[in-house]
Amino acid sequence: MHKSFDLFFVSSNNHKYHEAKNILDSFGIRLGFIKSRLEEIQSNSLCDIAMAKASYAFSQFKKPLIIEDDGLFIDSIGGFPGPYSSYVFKTIGNRGILSLLKNNRKAKFVSIITYCDKTTLQSFEGNLNGKISKSQKGKGWGYDPIFVPNNSVKTFAEINNKNELSHRYKALKKFSKWYLHK
Ligand code: IMP
């Protein structure tokens, strides 16, 4: 099992894996999938959460791997939900977020990709500025129907080139440069 890949993505989220696979394919890196829900430490730092998650995943699976931790940071509510994005999505969801916002709708998506193997633990960050739409638009996962990237009038759920500009793309592009030369 898991033999033909050099690098694995450990996550419980199929959407994240499919996007990461598509992006890394374009950089010539083949990505396997270990579907697993990893325990998360509580912290205000996405990077600390990602590093802890990656070390834990490596201790479990003992294969070179990457994990991802994301946050949606909304300006007018002090960067909330940030590191609590997953919990907030499960509890109040997109409707709840929309009900909290007025005129200032600026937001950013942050992705931390952390690589771990026997000797190395290294993180890569990708940020994408944008805003929160006034209503949900398009069919997409997570916050896709309410996040409008800068220079677009459409939400992530409505565009067809998300994987060429997303926070995930930016973090994985940095990772790929490093990984292919390490
Ligand atoms: P986590 O990294 O799984 O904790 O993700 C934080 C939250 O952000 C989860 O609710 C995800 O569904 C959501 N999320 C992360 N990346 C994306 C994305 O690209 N589109 C939409 N929602 C996302």
Task: Give residue-wise pLDDT tens across range 129-138.
Answer: 999 999 999 9
Instruction: Name the catalytic one among 25, 48, 69, 144.
Output: 69
Task: Give residue-wise pLDDT tens across range 86-130.
Answer: 999 999 999 999 999 999 999 999 999 999 999 999 999 999 999
Once rounded to an integer, what is the mean pLDDT over residues 39-58?
Answer: 95
Domains (ranges, CATH) in the chain? 7-180 (3.90.950.10)
Of 75, 86, 136, 78, nearest to 108 by C-alpha is: 75
Q: CB-hemisphere CA count at 13 Å for 58?
A: 19
Task: Give residue-wise pLDDT tens across range 156-178.
Answer: 999 999 999 999 999 999 999 99
Give the C-alpha distances (Å, rounded to integers) separating 37 from 9, 56, 60, 108.
12, 11, 12, 25
* Atom number in ligand 1 closest to CA 86: 10
Confidence of residue 4 (pLDDT cuts 50, 70, 90): low
Which of 132, 143, 169, when mutated, tests ligand 1's pocket best, judged by the most ligand atoms within 8 Å of its CB? 143
Beta strands in 58-180 (DSSP E): 65-74, 81-82, 106-116, 121-132, 147-149
Q: Which residue has the tokens 């007025």?
A: 102
Distance 70 CA to ligand 1 centre (A): 6
- pTM for the predicted model, two decimal places: 0.96
- Burial of 138 from C-beta contacts in 10 A (0-12 / 13-18 / 19+): middle
